[in-house]
Amino acid sequence: MSSEAIHASIVKQISKRLGFMACGISKADFLADEAPRLEQWLNQNHHGQMGYMERNFDKRLDPRKLVPGAKSVVSLLFNYFPENTPSDSDAPKIARYAYGQDYHRVIKDKLFEFMHEIQTEIGAVGGRVFVDSAPVMEKAWAAKSGLGWVGKNTNLIRKQEGSYFFIAELILDISLEADGAVTDHCGSCTACLDACPTDAFTAPYKLDASKCISYFTIELKEAIPQEVKGKFDQWAFGCDICQEVCPWNRFSTPHKEPAFNPNPELMGMAQNDWDEITEEVFNRLFEVSAVQRTGFSGLKRNLEFLK
């Protein structure tokens, strides 16, 4: 075995020990196929008010500009599918990824441990860790690394696990044996496109994020447009509709990460509990949750919009 293959095997063994669902590796090169797609998406203003998507265009497409000397991109998946959903199915809903603690801090801690173990087992390896917090095209790298395919709903999908997982990366200055991409298995299915209540998909594999419920309830800082009133299906923070209807998610299994377990109080909240939520209750329920991104005032705006 070559040193690239041996080191890749070590990296994948570490990923299993740390509880990651899957690990794939790519050479750190320019994402030539993504460049025109990203440029067109931005030119069509499909990113809405997410101005950060326009910044660092070159770094998004070439990890060597983000991490000097980069040779490999290690893509990692971490399951967040919950065992249960809230008891009141008619109450306002939050996306499953936000049930527990903020994934940024939980997974980043694991990534730092990952880097330490790589350095312990392989030697002086340099690089950076990323989890949805830098100009890294996570889904593109994960697909390139064979971890799944980017589906018609623009989520990464795996045949045996579905799509309820976080994506993270290690960009390293060591050459590792690369994996190959897998084929697309969406077939003729259009369940996700048909189910979107705000018509956020302009075509299969193309999302106008500025029309997505997740955008309206998290990213948009001003008033939600009245033309989408009554179309949110009770989603108050984020949205899982295009994942809920995806046939591949019938294979989703509950995660084993205690930090992602929901607060029992959250699981038991009824419609009137959401109507009467105070800032004190908000802070207690979501102190270390991704829901903090919208803040108490933002959540109240979203809840009012649902009425």
3-class state of residue 273 by DSSP:
helix
Contacts of 193 (CB under 8 A, 6+ apart): 152, 153, 201, 204
Q: What is the dihedral of CA 79, 80, 82, 86, to 10 degrees?
A: -160
Report which DSSP code applies to 162.
B
Q: How far apart are CA 182 and CA 58, in angstroms?
A: 26
Is position 184 annotated as part of the catalytic site? no
Asked whether 118 and 301 are in contact (CB, 8 A), the reply is no
State how far the alpha carbon of 102 is from the alpha carbons of 76, 82, 97, in Å.
Answer: 17, 14, 9
Structure-block tokens of residue 186: 């969406």
> 64: which residues sit within 8 A by CB, 6+ positions away?
28, 29, 70
- Choose, from 29, 62, 88, 132, the residue flagged as catalytic: 132
Q: How far apart are CA 132 and CA 110, in angstroms?
A: 14
* Residues known to be catalytic: 132
